[in-house]
Amino acid sequence: MKLPISLVVALFAPCVACTVRSADGYARDTGAVLATRKDAIRACYDGVLKATPEAKGTVTVKFDVETEGGGIAHVAVDPTGTTAPPPVADCVTHNLTGLAIAPPDSKEGKGTWVYEFAATGGSAAAPAARARTAPKS
C-alpha cells in the first residue's frame, strides 16, 4: 500500500527528534526555558510597582507543553495559588507566550509554576510572600 508523502509526514512529524521526559525532566527543561523570561517579568513587575508600590505575592500559572514544537500554550493563572494582584499575574502570563522546549516531548506536558514577587526599596519593602503549594495537574 502506498501512502501519500504528506500523510506519512503528518503521522511521524510530531515524534521526529522527540524525547520522552520524566516529570522531573520536564520540570528541569521547562524551568530552563521559563528562566529566560525572568528579566522581562522583573521589568514588568517594576512597572507595576510604580503605580502600586505594595503589589507583591505569589502567582501560580498552569500551562500545557505541546508535543508539536514543544510550545508552551494555554497559560492560565491558577487563582487558588495566587495572592498577587492581577497586574502582577499579567506580567507572568504575557511573558510566557512564544516559549518552547527543545526537543519536543512525545507526551504532552501539564505544568504548574509558582512565582514569588517581593519588592524592595521605597516604603513597600517587605519580605517575600511564602509560596502556596499549587495543586497537582
CB atoms within 10 A of CB 69: 15
As a whole number of angstroms, the distance between CA 11 and CA 5 comes to 10
C-alpha cell at 111: 505544568
Between 9 and 135, whose beta carbon lies closer to other proteins? 135
Element (H, E) at 3: none
CB atoms within 10 A of CB 118: 14
C-alpha cell at 100: 518552547
Binding mask 105-134 toward other proteins (x if CB under 8 A, else -) reads x-xxxxxxxxxxxxxxxxxxx--x--x--x
Between 11 and 108, whose beta carbon lies closer to other proteins? 108
Between 94 and 107, whose beta carbon lies closer to other proteins? 107
Please list every residue from 2 through 21 that binds other proteins, using CB under 8 A: 21
Contact residues for other proteins, defined by CB under 8 A: 21-24, 26-27, 30-31, 34-35, 38, 41-42, 45-46, 48-50, 53, 58, 105, 107-125, 128, 131, 134, 136-137
